[in-house]
Structure 1
């Protein structure tokens, strides 16, 4: 009832323990707290919170317009609603190294299990769009060092994301990733890898876990979890997929309303009221006040 029963520090400890096992961890993207709970209910290992989704939720493009306060606040709302660890997108850290340090401590306080800081130039662009620019290696390293120095819980995962593959090629991506690991990154998010061989090359070059971004309509093919596992990937995210599916369904429902004047034909596409109430533990609130849950729902 209410929020997660597992303290944030324990979520982080369990997450780091599981990540060290070498298994592939699946982190679908949650677009709100309720979807995070459904991800948990369906048996996944973690929840991902995408900067692109947070921007889209506000009706904004993913070009660095969101603030640390907005991201941390939404991240807290999502993370506290699930027993799973949640990783959140912190873009370029919301400023210079001192701002990156503040970002890390703010996200720790919000109950997140980890975050990734990228090496793009501000204002950043979506990782699968053309025209990206990255900062020099010294600037990228300073961001990660600031993040590591600011961390208070050693189990809070600090991941370095590099977008240099699209700008300078695969060799540059491996070199940049190595430098970020030397700076203290616990894991690496190599953005916009194009083939399984590129994931394999990155995994073999590093001694830390790597993450694969399986976003639709992007630069990477949509590899299966078994393919990614065999390539040495440790975490896979589907950052915007659930939002895309939900918005697609909403669009079709609105078309049906326009065409038919009602949604009777769409009932089998909806989450049933009983399933929603089960997901939000409606009946558990009866332990506090029997007047709240004093009814039965028939299917």
Structure 2
């Protein structure tokens, strides 16, 4: 997997190489990032792919739930900041419904590509959408979504850009309808198929079996969501090529900030949270500035002095 991806010229080509190698090497793991710092942490941890979560982007930018409140420009700006700090690591970005009809989808694809996105996820919900693991979802017609997928594929400036087609029809019309939709989106040109929020392992097995062969399958390991948390060996056995872990980093950050604030409110200082120099529970100041690239910046400053 690494050899194939390392030989690719662009992040989009790297993503395609990783997906092509997944049947032999196991699924590509894509932890979620909600901003540039969390994306940098994912890349620095050695993951081969980063996923920009719409849920986390909404929460971090405006402190609101994922119910379709952000537009294409806000999402693309976040993607641009993320892509800028992760180098050649491919970025898959949530593009919600494409923010309108097929023509809007084409513009969204162009905007996301210019932002540095390697893979673009589009879903078949009505606008405004909502998180795939919330209730009350509605979907557009299969024909309309297939048209959006065709528009997305034709709008690509880079033929390696990966178009991910997500259907939310399990919640609205059942697994069989979701499978029919996934097949239609595959025929429309989708590079990866994503059946969102199955609620039982039997349904996951049915989805994997019905869509096996050819087009890579995505599994959304939504932390605390409606889908059973299968093990990675089981997901590999079922044939999934890409696994998203969309909001774990967001939840971890929330827990960490809450803990720090509780300490500060209780003690009046963060000393207990910082710990001793030998047992720091938070990153040290120098460690953090190194994480965000201060040494490299100082080297550049020295060259120009």
- Normalised by the length of structure 2, the TM-score is 0.89
Deviations 1:141-198 (A, max 9, x none): 1111111111121110001000001111111111110010001100011110223443
- Local SS of the residue matching 1:29: strand
Query: How is 1:106-125 mapped onto 2 (pairs within 5 angstroms)?
Result: 106-125=111-130
Correspondence 1:254-273 to 2 at 5 A: 254-267=261-274, 268-273=280-285
Whether 1:201 and 2:213 are equivalent positions in the alignment is no
TM-score, structure 1 normalization: 0.91
Structure 1 residue 273: Cα displacement? 2.0
Q: More displaced, 244-253 or 155-164?
A: 244-253
Q: RMSD of the alignment, in Å?
A: 1.8
Q: CA deviation at 1:69?
A: 0.7
**2:17 corresponds to which residue?**
17
Q: Return the match for 1:210 from 212, 217, 227.
A: 217
Deviations 1:16-61 (CA, angstroms, capped at 9, x unpaired): 0111112311110112212212111111121000111111111222
Provide the residue aligned with 1:296 in structure 2. none
Unaligned 5+ runs, structure 1 = 1-5, 293-299
Matches of 1:30 and 1:213, distance apart in 2: 14
The residue that corresponds to 2:277 in the other structure is none
C-alpha deviation, 1:90, in angstroms: 0.5
Kept after mapping to 1: 8 A contact 2:35/2:57: no
Query: In structure 2, what is the Cα distance between the partners aligned to 1:176 and 1:266?
Result: 50
Report the alpha carbon displacement of residue 275 of structure 1 after superposing the two structures with TM.
2.3
Is residue 87–residue 114 contact of structure 1 (8 Å, CA) maintained in 2? yes
Deviation at 1:249, TM superposition (A): 1.1
- For residues 192 and 254 of structure 2, the distance between their equivalents in structure 1, rounded to whole angstroms, comes to 32
Report the counterpart of residue 229 of structure 1 in structure 2: 236
1:202 deviates by 2.3
Bigger drift between 54-63 and 269-278 goes to 269-278
Aligned residues: 286
- The answer to which of 264-273 and 137-146 deviates more is 264-273
Partner-residue secondary structure (3-state), 2:93: strand
Per-residue deviation, 1:291: 10
